[in-house]
Amino acid sequence: MSTREFAESFAEAFNAGDYDTVASYLADDFQFSGPVPEPIDGEQWMGLSKILRAAFPDIKYNLRVVGVEGNVVTIVNQLSGTHTGDLDLSAMGMGVIPATGKSFSNPEEPGEATVQGDKFVSMHITPTEGAGLMGILAQIGVKPPQ
């Protein structure tokens, strides 16, 4: 399987919320960075993804591959969804945010992912104004802590 095919298969599983398959694509030392205060590992990233899916059951990640050069995959991500479930941000000191029924649609966020062998070792999403978790919170009317 080419790097592009590998990345597109990963994107398809991620967009579908098939987290078992997504986890199988991640190296043990996988790191996610960008729209988070500090880089997080694969388990933390998967946990955040599952929290978002529980709060926004119709979430669309719209992750797509736009290019490949060697083992670096250029991606674009654009999240949208409707807040119909509880958003558990207890780990951030914000508690559980009950469903608001509000929809959000974040701007596109460019990024890169690095493949080694048959696993992703890193993914970096470029922080984009109005995107990420802070963009979601703003659109559903939740003020983050200062």
pLDDT tens column, 53-102? 999 999 998 989 999 999 999 999 999 999 999 999 998 888 999 999 99
The model's pTM is 0.88
Torsions phi, psi of 68, nearest 5? -140, 130
pLDDT at 146: 66
- Domains with residue ranges and CATH for the chain: 3-139 (3.10.450.50)
Task: Residue 85: name the closest of 45, 48, 58, 105 by CA.
Answer: 58
- Beta-bridged to residue 77, according to DSSP, are 109
Question: Quick check: 43 pLDDT over 90?
Answer: yes
Share of the chain above pLDDT 90, in %: 80
A 10 A CB-CB count for 70 gives 8
For the chain, what is the mean pLDDT?
93
A 10 A CB-CB count for 146 gives 3
Report CA 20 to chain centroid distance, whole Å: 15
